Amino acid sequence: MQIRNIAIIAHVDHGKTTLVDKIIHATKVFRDNQETGELIMDNNDLERERGITILSKNISVNYKDVKINVIDTPGHADFGGEVERVLKMADGVVLLVDAFEGPMPQTRFVLQKALELNLRPIVVINKVDKPNCRPDEVHDAVFELFFQLDATEDQLNFPTIYGSSKQGWFNTSLTPTEDITPLLDTILEKVPEPKVTEGTVQMQITSLDYSSFLGRIAIGKVVRGTLKEGMPVQLCKLDGSMVKSRIKELYTFEGMGKKKVTEVAAGDICAIVGIEDFQIGETVADFENPEALPVIAIDEPTMNMQFSINNSPFFGREGKFVTSRNLRDRLNKELEKNLALRVKDTDDADKFLVYGRGILHLSVLVETMRREGYELTVGQPQVITKEIDGQKCEPYESLVVDVPSEFSGKVIDLVTQRKGEMLIMESKGEMQHLEFDVPSRGLIGLRSQMLTATAGEAVMAHRFSEYKPWKGTIPGRNNGVLVAKQAGTTTAYSIDKLQDRGSFFVDPGEEIYAGQILAEHIKPGDLNVNAVEGKKLTNMRASGSDGTSSITPKIQMTLEECMEYIQQDECIEVTPQSIRLRKIMLDENDRAKYAKMLKIEA
């Protein structure tokens, strides 16, 4: 049977997962009367809530007696570690581009990886049903991007398909058709069959699955030879050593699930059960004369955060896993499949430094852990600096902002305050398209400020570009915070009296502890406040509105917003049901002593 292996790559929100849904429906993977819902591939709760793909996934469909293995990849540059390894399984890529937005920073990032691996591209210009769309201009911009990325002549001669995955049609021209068969026909015609070289068996492990019944399952593409059930193999480890092993069971992908088989020929993607202690990037090779494939190189992390046990007064109330041993085991388990993550021990056994690609990458890990029942404290994200030619250097990012023209001045002002340099400014219809080169530090906390300044209209995207010399201090948060003086339950009376001092993160009736951050102060500098004082009752009745107090609802902040908000002396307490901001030192006197000590040192 003929095989095609194809990865779908695009910027976040350009419609990859919706396109995969349409391919699944068009090839009749489900019965006609089967209830499937939308975004079939985004099967974990976090992905569905956020509307983003975090983990790459494979499915397989049959079309005209050809098996097409489809790999859905994440669009966020923060999950680049996922993209880089799964592209190894593909022989061609479908590059999906929005007909209005055109190529975006992450499009460039994933396309560059695909072209370096010499994959055959098919360009799909999606969402041509949108008002203000500009498919012809976008097509030229995509060609320009290929040219900038040094595509070969063969790659520059890419086929282009137009359509709308939401409406369920694709065509080689802008004329709507009944279905998506023109796209599937182009995949069969343009994507080459997997290259099979002669030699002993080889398969690189590019992702892993876990089943409580079977244990860890290795997934990858068979490059040479044929794998058989019960066959003895050698596992070529990353450090160069060899480990003898045996394949217990073999599965190939069929539809949304896996099908048990006795053998898998070169070119197909399969899952192996029975190999112990493997890591991503290692090679399953021949038993007699094993040959390892080159290891997958992954871009380095650019940001780190301190993870520690929850040591607040409310410790252990909501979580099941609260000790440092639980935390260490969970982080080590994450390292097995999250390639772009690094974990380092610190001098304190209860604290770990976790390195990742960006705030989203780290916050998804924290969010997943709290849903699993972990309690932890996370510190302020810090960028990783390097010494290059004797100079201190920091990571820089390419930032792209699309914003209505009347707000462009505010955006430029915000980014330049954070040491960003504007490279491009051009009009796209009523929108201004702005491109900046900005230090990664400058992006922390920028999104919420930008959305406030542009009435929620700005669309921003960024990706890591390179390390450059340190740009000096960047102004952080201007305002201080209101910190709880004592523990207790907040009262409407106290909050009402304090409302003119700041905007609150808690509602009346919430339990708080000393050292917890309750609100943002209207001025710089922190203020210790009592928010648990009740009204003293007397038997005298006051005329007028005595007991009424109007309280503004609290500010709800997501985990990422909290990470961007906190300063060096603050941290976030994360439990399965709550996210609280707090000072690292809960005692007011300890904070005062520490501040005094810093002044003396300075």
Q: Residues forming the annotated binding site?
A: 13-18, 126-129
Place of tokens 């021209």: 173
Residue 320 has phi, psi (to 5 degrees) of -95, -35
Beta carbons within 8 Å of 556's beta carbon, 6+ residues apart: none
Nearest to 438 by CA among 402, 464, 475, 413: 464
Nearest to 103 by CA among 461, 531, 502: 461
Return the sign of the alpha-carbon dihedral for residues 21, 24, 29, 33: positive
- Cα separation, 311 vs 103, whole angstroms: 46
User: Both tokens of residue 593?
Assistant: 């002593």
Burial of 64 (0-12, 13-18, 19+ CB in 10 A): exposed
- Cα separation, 158 vs 136, whole angstroms: 15
Burial of 416 (0-12, 13-18, 19+ CB in 10 A): middle
For residue 436, count other CB atoms closer than 10 A to its CB: 25
Burial of 211 (0-12, 13-18, 19+ CB in 10 A): exposed
User: Both tokens of residue 136?
Assistant: 């012809």
The annotation places the binding site for GTP at 13-18, 126-129
Write down the H helix ranges in 378-491: 408-417, 440-443, 446-453
Q: Where are the beta strands (DSSP E) in 50-99?
A: 57-63, 66-72, 92-98
Quote the distance between the C-alpha of residue 9 and its chain's center.
15
Q: Distance between the two ends of the chain, CA-based, in angstroms? A: 73
- Cα separation, 210 vs 154, whole angstroms: 39
Residue 158 carries which side chain, given as an amino acid letter? Answer: F
User: Both tokens of residue 63?
Assistant: 């079309």
Burial of 578 (0-12, 13-18, 19+ CB in 10 A): middle
Give the Å distances, CA to CA, from 361 to 16, 85, 255, 305. Answer: 19, 16, 29, 11
Pairing of strands 92-98, 120-126: parallel
Place of tokens 């006197």: 589
User: Both tokens of residue 278?
Assistant: 């493997």
- Cα separation, 317 vs 37, whole angstroms: 37
Q: What angle do CA 103, 164, 26 make, to 5 degrees?
A: 120
